[in-house]
Amino acid sequence: MNIFLAQQNYHIGNFEANTKKIIEAINEAKSRNADLIIFSELCVCGYPPRDFLEFEDFIEKSYRALDEIKQYTENIGVLVGAPARNLQYDGKDLFNAVFLLHEKEIKAEIHKTLLPTYDVFDEDRYFEPAYEWNVIEFRGKRLAVTICEDIWNLGDNPLYRVCPMDLLMEQQPDLMINLSASPFDYTHYEDRKAIIKANVLKYKLPMFYCNAVGSQTEIVFDGGSFIFDKDANIIKVFPLFEEIVDGLKLNADNTFSESIIEKADELPTHELNPERLIPSLNIDEVYSALVMGIRDYFNKMNFSKAILGSSGGIDSAVTLALACDALGAENVRAILMPSPYSTSHSVDDAVELSKNLNNPYDIIHIKNIYESFLQELKPIFNDLPFSVAEENIQSRTRGNLVMAIANKFNYILLNTSNKSELATGYGTLYGDMAGGLGVLGDCYKMQVYELAKYINREKEIIPRHIIDKAPSAELRPNQKDSDSLPDYSILDQILYQYIEQRKGPNEIKSLGFDTALVDRTLKLVNINEYKRNQFCPIIRVSPKAFGVGRRVPIVGKYLI
């Protein structure tokens, strides 16, 4: 049997575009003599549809799309993901389902059992879990079809009520198929490979695993679909961050004629999320995820041009380089807005960067605007000493200017704040925290430096001085970030333990960090939740990003 996988980039709620893409993949597979083609989880409507699922019109459109797709299945089997109405059982109105389409009919319907409710997932809010488990008969093969999370329980987790594959094995399937929408993060790819391997080792069946690709606002799907033989060797790996339709022939004896790409004993063992002080990045994957996040956000929202404030600092430099890669340098406008406290070399560095990237840029000096604010505020401020108030006026002046240009010329403002700053509140609401999309908001400061070095891997794009100089907001004379924050190399490790690893203060201190520093850092994180709650969407690349996957009370007392 020739079995193909369609690793595709869908647009949530864009049924016309998704249906066209699915039909094109079916036709390509048919032209290559495929017997069966497998798509990813909820491909018909796009994943995650969230509260769109509460609209009956949305569900109607999904079923109409299925009706259109099945007209192309006269001589090929098609497994597609879509919401299905719950017409038989008590509970929620919908199932997260897979439909087998063949001979222009719906031949079978499979429901997802294990509905994730952690991090960015909230499927139990919308879907009812499966009540029955059946192998699908197709062209002489018995298919054990599961959906994403259903293979993450190997029967050893008491939190799950059932193990779907254990139940399906009672019906003696010939192979396993999993339709997935498993997001990218810089610790997850190897974990995912390991869990698929663990399934194959347990059940001794080939596995066809199809994952989604593409970015949906903050969530990035990396693709990386797999085909495993029954001995847990990888026979085919699909590329990361690319759309592709391809497959293999499964022989009658459930073997493959193709060469093994990666042997089972070379694969990582099944250890999910091993404890790390802070992981090193697979830098090319993170770079690709961020570029895809920017590009898809703009394309799917019908935006074409971006703008950002270019300060001559590392964060704006990396953001600018990523945006130019994603959108084309001609579509990214940099605005340099030096204040009375900006150093000349910062302006020079920002100019050099834009010249290296060949993107348009403008210089607007904010000294006069800043001083007019101070003059108007003088009767109220009196002779009080310089403070954060004067610093924030500069930042908000810049925010006003760059948003004015964005409004006038239909740009979308890219935010340049990094995760270390967002975690500790080192930013100005309605100033440098303004923006339509947070590009680096899930990258700690030291990870931003890793990205800068990667961008310069072949030639100097980001001027060396930007990378080497001490980071500074330049909002007062001789200011450095270290005046307000601990050294980033230590700060980032503490933040990672608290945010990603969810360790409490005593656990973090036991790792050898200074007691006072831990207390100070965690207090900064918690008292600044109100700022992050007003922040724009952030491209997610870590196991725990600020945003929909981390819901912390603003008025909570914990550690304050």
Q: How far is CA 172 from CA 134, 135, 143, in A?
A: 10, 8, 9
CA distances for 209 relative to 5, 40, 95, 101, 110, angstroms: 8, 9, 20, 18, 16
What are the b/e assignments for 189-217, b being 16+ CB within 10 Å? bebbbbbbbbbbbbbebbbbbbbbbbbbb
Q: Check 112, 193, 230, 503 and give the catalytic one.
A: 112
Task: Give the neighbor-by-neighbor strand order of the sheet with 36-38.
Answer: 105-111, 94-102, 77-85, 36-38, 2-7, 244-249
157 near 514, Cβ under 8 Å? no
- CA 538/CA 443 separation, integer angstroms: 10
Question: What beta strand segments (E) does 112-260 contain?
Answer: 136-138, 141-147, 175-180, 207-211, 213-216, 219-222, 226-228, 234-237, 244-249
- DSSP letter for 485, please: S
Q: Which of 413, 223, 224, 201 is nearest to 309 (CA)?
A: 413
Q: Which residues of 135-158 are buried (b: 16+ CB within 10 A; e: fewer)?
A: bbebeebebbbbbbbbbbbbeeee
* Tokens, residue 20: 């066209």
Tell me if 196 sits within 8 A of 209, measured CB to CB: yes
Q: Is 112 a catalytic residue?
A: yes
Kind and range of the H or E run holding 437: strand 437-438
Hunting for tokens 């550690």 — which residue is that?
Answer: 559
Given the residues 21, 41, 390, 536, the one annotated as active site? 41
If one counts every other C-beta atom within 10 angstroms of the C-beta of residue 32, the result is: 13
* Continuous H helices in 283-411: 283-300, 314-327, 344-357, 367-381, 388-409
Catalytic residue, from 43, 45, 148, 163: name it: 148
Residue for token digits 């001083």? Answer: 371
Q: Is 540 exposed, middle or buried (0-12, 13-18, 19+ CB in 10 A)?
A: buried
Question: Is the preceding peptide bond at 48 cis, omega within 30 degrees of 0?
Answer: yes
70 is catalytic: no
450 is catalytic: no
Q: Which of 125, 164, 130 is CA-nearest to residue 145?
A: 164
Active site (catalytic) residues: 41, 112, 148
